[in-house]
Chains A and B, each alone.
Chain A
Amino acid sequence: DAGVIQSPRHEVTEMGQEVTLRCKPISGHNSLFWYRQTMMRGLELLIYFNNNVPIDDSGMPEDRFSAKMPNASFSTLKIQPSEPRDSAVYFCASSLGQGWNIQYFGAGTRLSVL
């Protein structure tokens, strides 16, 4: 199994630009999570999907952030417009079942907004 695949690994963009992060979960997993990790705030859960349906998006910081899961094998996290304070490492994770089981993380996308 290839594991959770995220792309791109690194993204550098200018303030105001749209950023799209992509995630392919492990085949057969029906829960998907987006996290953000910074030195100041640690690891924060942004949104959780179960069977492609957003279950908890209370961690999404503001309307500039949106996430979609059009099918069981693909999810996107979009930031529009991006701001320097969005600079962080964004992780996608997937798990089997309701979600609060063992999570398998991707390698992350390091985002830098200049």
Chain B
Amino acid sequence: SQQGEEDPQALSIQEGENATMNCSYKTSINNLQWYRQNSGRGLVHLILIRSNEREKHSGRLRVTLDTSKKSSSLLITASRAADTASYFCATTGANNLFFGTGTRLTVIP
């Protein structure tokens, strides 16, 4: 399966700290995406990184991709209580997209 697996499954930090989540996958990809899901809501796209990119930034988000290790990380800097949510990576191949199992992030005010 190409499904991504996030690590850790759950993460609890204090407001203002940085949060790092990791995603590992098994086969080659075209791109990798990160999504956020607030409780009771649908997923919201955060950032897309292509297979030929190594790092991408968007506001307080920083995503890295290491295709040799088949892994990606999402860093949220200066976390806020509003960042509390589940975060999913999604790996995209030629004709498919697989979501990982998610990391539940709790930011304590």
Which of B31, B33, B42, B102 makes the CB contact (< 8 A) with A42? Answer: B102
The CA-CA distance from A43 to B37 in the complex, in Å, is: 11
A108 touches B41 (CB 8 A): yes
| B-chain residues with CB within 8 Å of residue A93 when the two chains form the complex | 42-43
9-residue interface stretch from B14-22, B61-69, B91-99: B91-99
A102 to B99, CA, bound (A): 13
Interface size on B, residues (CB 8 A): 21
Q: Which of the residues A45, A56, A102, A105 comes within 8 Å of B42, measured between beta carbons?
A: A105
The distance in angstroms between the C-alpha atoms of A45 and B98, with both chains bound, is 8
Q: Is the CB of B42 within 8 A of A107?
A: yes
Question: CB-CB < 8 A to A4: which residues of B?
Answer: 42
- Determine which of A99, A100, A105 lies in contact with B44 in the assembled complex, contact meaning CB atoms within 8 Å: A105
Query: Are the CB atoms of A42 and B96 closer together than 8 Å?
Result: no
B95 touches A102 (CB 8 A): no
A104 CB contacts on chain B under 8 angstroms = 45
Q: List 28 A-B contacts (CB under 8 A).
A: A4-B42, A42-B99, A42-B101, A42-B102, A43-B43, A43-B88, A43-B99, A45-B97, A45-B98, A45-B99, A56-B95, A91-B42, A93-B43, A100-B30, A100-B31, A100-B96, A100-B97, A102-B33, A102-B48, A103-B45, A103-B97, A105-B42, A105-B43, A106-B42, A107-B41, A107-B42, A108-B41, A108-B42
A residues sitting closer than 8 Å to B (CB atoms) are 4, 42-43, 45, 56, 91, 93, 99-108
Residue numbers of B with Cβ under 8 A of A are 30-31, 33, 41-45, 48, 88, 90, 92-93, 95-102
